[in-house]
Amino acid sequence: MKKLVLSLVAVSAFAFSTQAQTEKGKIIVGGNVAFDTQKSDAAGAKSNSNFQIVPSVGYFVSDNIAIGTGIGYGYSKTNGVAAADNTTAQFGNKNTSFVVNPFGRYYANLSESFKFFGQLSVPMAFGKDKAVDAAGNTGAKTGTTTEIGVALSPGFAFYPTKKIGIEFALNGLNYNTLRKEGVNDEKLKGQGYDEFSFGANFFSPKIGVQFHF
């Protein structure tokens, strides 16, 4: 009987510890940072770069279910290419944006230190474009951008401690739309897009850190 009682206590303690980080009333604070750079083999080409940082905060409305939002900054630069006579043959573009990413998330316990989660988010970015010449210099404003998407993504969280979660989120089901307007708010036809993807970069995970309070 004593062994049975001890076993029940151990099971209860395990169940509590695996849910302690994601129980109702808890707050998560964290975010993610993404950066990449690419360079063409073309003569005179300069590196193109993308950077985004989005801190986030969430609240557990019930056990294992959290809602929240991320607010951050995005930057991308595509450089121009010089012609053979060193004149500007092609203009590039620089975009800076204000990023908002409301989300809902569900956690499922796998073990004391690992949890699976599914996240539904609505990422939005509101930015402005500026011209970039072949030398990489930024010029005048050329327009504005509005980007809105819907993403359903799976992920895993590892907890080295009860208050720190290291997350690996995979690309899942995504829909994204981008619209551009000129400096006088006129629509720029042919410069936007609608994109739907499923696991296009499934094995390129995003890494983030969440703090649980």
Residue 204's pLDDT is what? 55
Residue 2's pLDDT is what? 34
* Cβ atoms of residues 91 and 79 within 8 Å: no
Q: Residues in the chain with pLDDT < 70?
A: 1-20, 39-46, 80-91, 134-136, 183-193, 195, 197-205
b or e along 113-143 (b: 16 or more beta carbons within 10 Å of the residue's beta carbon)? eebebebbbebebebbbbbbbbeeeeeeebb
Name the pTM for this structure: 0.73
**Tokens representing residue 213 in the block:** 């309070």
Question: What's the CA gap between 94 and 74, in Å, rounded?
Answer: 11
Strand partners, 151: 121, 174
* Cβ atoms of residues 188 and 4 within 8 Å: no
Strand partners, 18: none
Residue 143's pLDDT is what? 82
Look at the chain and count its residues: 213
What are the pLDDT digits (tens) for 33-59? 777 777 665 555 567 788 888 899 999
* Cβ atoms of residues 148 and 181 within 8 Å: no
* Cβ atoms of residues 208 and 28 within 8 Å: no
**Tokens representing residue 141 in the block:** 């404003």
Residue 11's pLDDT is what? 31
Residue 107's pLDDT is what? 94
